[in-house]
Amino acid sequence: MPADFNWAIGGEAGDGIDSTGKVFAQALSRAGRHVFTSKDFASRIRGGYTAYKVRTSTEKVRSVVDRLDVLVALTPRTIEENLDELHEGSVIIYDGERTTMADVEIPEGMVGLDVPLKRLAEDAGGAVMRNVVALGAACEATSFDIEHLDSSLKKHFGDKGQSIVDNNKQAARLGQEHVRDNYPDADLDYDLDTTDNDYILLNGDEAIGMGAIAAGCKYYAGYPITPATDVMTYLKGRIEHFGGHVVQAEDELAAINLALGAARAGARSMTATSGPGIDLMAETFGLVATSETPLVVVDVMRSGPSTGMPTKQEQGDLNMMLYGGHGEIPRFVLAPTTVNECFWKTVEAFNLAEKYQTPVYLAADLAMAVTEQTFEPDAFDMDAVEIDRGKVVDEESIADHQTESGGFKPHEITEDGVSPRAIPGTEGGAHMSTGLEHDEQGRRTEDTEMRVEQVDKRNRKIETAREREDLSPREFGDPDSDNLVVTWGSNEGTLVEALEFLEEADIDVRILSVPYLFPRPDLTEEFEAADEVVVVECNATGQFADVVEHDTLQRVKRVNKYNGVQFKADELAEDIKETLAASQEVEA
């Protein structure tokens, strides 16, 4: 029996796949099991294939794998789509009374549980609960204590009243009983152990929103776009409780300009979007940097270019975040690596934005943003959150940053590149900010010397950050290995899990996961110490591989995936194995 268990529900968009999956994931989490979820969805409201997958274990799970143990198939296509992942002994729960499922054939070696989902749901009070009947059936098939499901149902439907909760519990019982009564001899060799642990379950977008509130963000402006919308959805209704405000703007241009306005007024301010929105925001991004306004811009990447594949994974916006915008723009680009890191990197993004008075990109991706993961609650330890507002001047200290005639110097030339910041309303601080090149007071200038001084001053912030901030990569695997695998973003978890598969094949690797993409750590020593360097990323051209080659003057091997699906641990291990083997053959 495998250490972990993989379950999925699939059907058409509009079938309630998402909420059903979430109820089951929550039930597992409440039973003290670790959970990692993934979504396979299409860009449409109703119809089309969609699935919600849950991987669970009593150990930490960090990625998806190519394996399905129990599948709730609401449509025949659900079985077709997942055939590769089903195996001998896999259980398929389906409703044979549903017209489209009547002639469905269960592949050889698998166990089909024909459960009249709709009819039993109606018996419990309404056809809408048919997915919950399937969850009850799944509990029986896996010997999972149905009381954990009850607890999750209460959490999800509690607001709708006790009778709705009771009906759902009843629906689950009917599914459970149907399997118990009709398949007493079925070989259902699955066992979902429970533990005493209390885990929380959340996705990357939610963690970014939570991080923003924890960091004292008060203003959010955004425009709905997949897969970043959940950040806005999370903040709306919560940030107000902490004195903040959410605005749904008329477009991405308005969103970043609203956020810029709030930031100029002194609020910690943020916008989130995906690649197409980043394109639209590029011009204002330059103004944010030149006016030295602290602002956090979240890019939850999806497949591009253009509209690309809005509901599919990719890490294709790296170059845009590193170089996007005309002229040369000092900035930070941070890439969280897990759902938990989405929280911490958001907090850090606000501190860096204010300490250095720059725009900060948070480079998240779809695989992380819509993926739910379980954590110990103290992984989100609010006591560990620190706020650093940087060089804000008050009415007394402002005198040190004024000209002889009393003009404030918001762009004062300083050694560390960071100038004093007067928040509007501060007496004696009135000043102009502009995207035009300016002097220390913010007044337009074309003076050649001042131009050079201001450009150097702004760029100096990055040098200062390199000195003051810990930009180290996160390290996993065998520290002494000659094989170095480098990655960024959501691939980290998959790579860590791939270690196990590589060990089985007697391959040791050292993993560096780089959360600071700009400014980034110098990896020259690490690269020189390794025989082979492999860079893993979800894009076709190897954008990060290009920049580290440039940094270290050393060629690297590349493992790229750009079909819209995130890496899976076993598959990635195989890719790395092949890449290493290929280079050894060449040398031989």
Q: Which residues 214-233 are close enough to bind other proteins by CB under 8 A?
A: 214-216, 218-219, 221
Least distance to other proteins, CB of residue 432, Å:
5
- As given in the structure block, the two tokens for residue 352 are 């860096």
Nearer to other proteins, 431 or 466 (CB): 431
One symbol per residue from 68 to 97: x for binding other proteins (CB under 8 A), - otherwise; what is it? Answer: ------------------------------
443 touches other proteins (CB under 8 A): yes
For residue 8, what are the β-bridge partners?
A: 53, 71
Nearer to other proteins, 189 or 198 (CB): 198
- Residues 314-373, interacting with other proteins (CB under 8 A): none
Q: Could you tell me if 483 and 507 are in contact, meaning their C-beta atoms sit under 8 angstroms apart?
A: yes
> Contact with other proteins (CB under 8 A): which of 129, 262, 536, 576?
262
HEC sequence for 153-198: HHHHHHHHCHHHHHHHHHHHHHHHHHHHHHCCCCCCCCCCCCCCCC
The stretch near other proteins (CB under 8 A) out of 168-176, 224-232, 421-429, 540-548 is: 421-429
How many residues in the shown chain lie near other proteins by CB under 8 A?
72
Least distance to other proteins, CB of residue 286, Å:
8
The stretch near other proteins (CB under 8 A) out of 70-78, 209-217, 356-364, 447-455 is: 209-217
Strand arrangement, sheet containing 86-94:
111-114, 86-94, 68-73, 5-13, 47-57, 34-40, 372-375, 200-203
- Residues 280-309, interacting with other proteins (CB under 8 A): 283-284, 286-287, 291
> Contact with other proteins (CB under 8 A): which of 83, 103, 105, 243?
243
Least distance to other proteins, CB of residue 451, Å:
17
> Contact with other proteins (CB under 8 A): which of 444, 447, 522, 529?
444
CA dist., res. 157 & res. 162, Å (int) = 8
Least distance to other proteins, CB of residue 456, Å:
22
The stretch near other proteins (CB under 8 A) out of 3-11, 435-443, 556-564, 565-573 is: 435-443
Q: Could you tell me if 1 and 190 are in contact, meaning their C-beta atoms sit under 8 angstroms apart?
A: yes
Buried-exposed string 149-167: b where 16+ CB fall within 10 A, e elsewhere: bbebbeebbeeeeeebbbb
Strand arrangement, sheet containing 219-222:
245-248, 219-222, 269-273, 295-301, 359-365, 332-334, 516-518
Least distance to other proteins, CB of residue 151, Å:
10
128 touches other proteins (CB under 8 A): no
187 touches other proteins (CB under 8 A): no
DSSP character at residue 442:
S
- Residues 366-405, interacting with other proteins (CB under 8 A): 377, 380, 382-387, 389, 405
Q: Could you tell me if 274 and 309 are in contact, meaning their C-beta atoms sit under 8 angstroms apart?
A: no
> Contact with other proteins (CB under 8 A): which of 423, 455, 471, 565?
423
Least distance to other proteins, CB of residue 173, Å:
24
Nearer to other proteins, 268 or 312 (CB): 268
165 touches other proteins (CB under 8 A): no
The stretch near other proteins (CB under 8 A) out of 17-25, 50-58, 210-218, 324-332 is: 210-218
- Give whole-number Cα distances, 56 to 175, 368, 498, in Å: 22, 17, 17
Least distance to other proteins, CB of residue 246, Å:
10
259 touches other proteins (CB under 8 A): yes
Least distance to other proteins, CB of residue 409, Å:
14
Q: Could you tell me if 6 and 53 are in contact, meaning their C-beta atoms sit under 8 angstroms apart?
A: yes
> Contact with other proteins (CB under 8 A): which of 80, 427, 447, 482?
427
Q: Give the list of residues 6+ apart from residue 314 with CB closer than 8 angstroms, or none.
A: 301, 302, 303, 304, 308, 365, 366, 538, 539, 562, 564
* Nearest by Cα to 14 from 43, 54, 39, 50: 50
Nearer to other proteins, 35 or 548 (CB): 35
Least distance to other proteins, CB of residue 35, Å:
12
Angle at which helix 275-290 crosses helix 252-264, to 10 degrees, equals 30
Q: Give the list of residues 6+ apart from residue 482 with CB closer than 8 angstroms, or none.
A: 530, 531, 532
- As given in the structure block, the two tokens for residue 209 are 């929103």
Nearer to other proteins, 47 or 425 (CB): 425
434 touches other proteins (CB under 8 A): yes
Least distance to other proteins, CB of residue 184, Å:
36
Residue 477 burial (CB count, 10 A): 20
One symbol per residue from 23 to 52: x for binding other proteins (CB under 8 A), - otherwise; what is it? Answer: -------x----------------------
Nearer to other proteins, 380 or 501 (CB): 380
Nearer to other proteins, 433 or 541 (CB): 433
DSSP character at residue 71:
E
> Contact with other proteins (CB under 8 A): which of 188, 253, 413, 462?
253
HEC sequence for 82-131: HCCCEEEEEEEEECCCCHHHCCCCCCCCCEEEECCHHHHHHHHCCHHHHH
Q: Could you tell me if 146 and 176 are in contact, meaning their C-beta atoms sit under 8 angstroms apart?
A: yes
> Contact with other proteins (CB under 8 A): which of 71, 111, 192, 267?
267
450 touches other proteins (CB under 8 A): no
* Nearest by Cα to 114 from 149, 168, 72: 72
* Nearest by Cα to 168 from 192, 203, 144, 132: 132
67 touches other proteins (CB under 8 A): no
Q: Could you tell me if 363 and 515 are in contact, meaning their C-beta atoms sit under 8 angstroms apart?
A: no
261 touches other proteins (CB under 8 A): yes
Q: Give the list of residues 6+ apart from residue 123 with CB closer than 8 angstroms, or none.
A: 174
> Contact with other proteins (CB under 8 A): which of 61, 117, 228, 258?
258
